[in-house]
Amino acid sequence: MKNVLVLGGTGFVGRHTCERLHREGWQITVPTRRARNAAAVQHLPRVTVIEADVHDPAQLLRLMAGHDVIVNLVAILHGSEEAFERVHVELPLAIEEACLAEGVSRVVHVSALGVATDAPSRYQRSKARGEEVLRGANLDLTVLRPSVIFGAGDRFLNLFAQLQGLAPMVPLACAEARFQPVWVEDVAAAIAACLRDDAIGRSTQGQTIECAGPDVLTLRELVRLAGRHGSHERPVIGLPAALGRLQAAVMELMPGPPLMSRDNVAAMSVPNVASGQLPGLNSLGIAPASVHTIAPTYLGQRNGRSQLLHWRQQAGR
């Protein structure tokens, strides 16, 4: 039985990944600053939760011991330049150093579509620098680049569905921004497939894999889909660019994590879709699920038909 260290295992993608790896027989270690944050995975018999700060190089080095593979899912969507640098660049550097010190060579790193060192957003640029750090090391590395990720418990479609239950209309920045949404279970399956086949990390062709669903939709279409299956479809009013940036700036001032930031707006100025020049989920034997099929299974739980779809989806897992 192999041992895998999952950084970011308490998050949305992390929870689904741990469940998938558990079903496949992996022994999984999930570090977290507070054990209560790991409630969603602590019940899994093959998951060990350890209280630790992965941003502390000494603690990260201790965590590496005894593991065969590292999966890095740690990321933030909002923050300052310093925050993005710390999470998306300095942590991969610490992972590289700890891996080399402990003799761990296999790393699966989850990045994002649209990353580039000259991309318009701090998020995309920092993600690209993080990839470069890991590529510069002597590691068997696989980078997965997903589009926006949806699924039960997401903070994307669920959020838009909830907002439409509260407001008569949705004023929306970047309404025509394009996405190729990917189901969280397909991302988890991709991670598991990469862990099963060590050769993927040693193949130049397979080192970067684009994780995208079969549908390309605008943000407007995704918001309408969320409202329709959440039983409160409202009119979507696309905002001009200047008003969109102003809306994001106001949201940044609200308490709690912002619903949208100016950096998000910058990121959406480029399409979040697969390039088609790199391997996709099909290269891993995964036929990606459509958002039109999966979204009704969790957005409209009060609807009898959607509940039936949900049961069918669960039965097929």
Residue 197 dihedral angles phi and psi, to the nearest 5°: -120, 95
What's phi and psi for 19, nearest 5 deg? -65, -40
Cα–Cα distance for residue pair 51/295, rounded to 1 Å: 34
Cα-to-chain-centroid distance, residue 198:
22
Quote the pLDDT of residue 255: 87
Report the pLDDT averaged over residues 30-46: 94
Could you tell me whether strands 140-146 and 106-110 are parallel, antiparallel, or unpaired per DSSP bridges? parallel
pTM to 2 decimal places: 0.91
Q: Is the pLDDT of residue 145 over 90?
A: yes
What pLDDT band is residue 56 in, cutting at 50, 70 and 90? very high
Determine the Cα–Cα distance for residues 88 and 311; give it in Å rounded to an integer. Answer: 37
Domains and CATH numbers, the chain: 3-154+181-214+272-289 (3.40.50.720)
pLDDT beyond 70 at 233? yes
Q: Band of the pLDDT at 299, cuts 50, 70, 90?
A: very high
Identify the weakest region by mean pLDDT among 162-171, 180-189, 288-297.
162-171
The percentage of residues in the chain with a pLDDT greater than 90, rounded to a whole number, is 85
**pLDDT mean over 237-254:** 94
Q: Is 66:46 a contact under the CB 8 Å cutoff?
A: no
Mean pLDDT of 28-55: 95
Answer yes or no: is pLDDT of 167 > 90: no
Flag whether pLDDT at 229 surpasses 90. yes
Query: How large is the average pLDDT for residues 125-149?
Result: 95
- H or E element that contains 252: helix 241-252
Q: How confident is the model at residue 313 (pLDDT cuts 50, 70, 90)?
A: very low
pLDDT at 138: 86
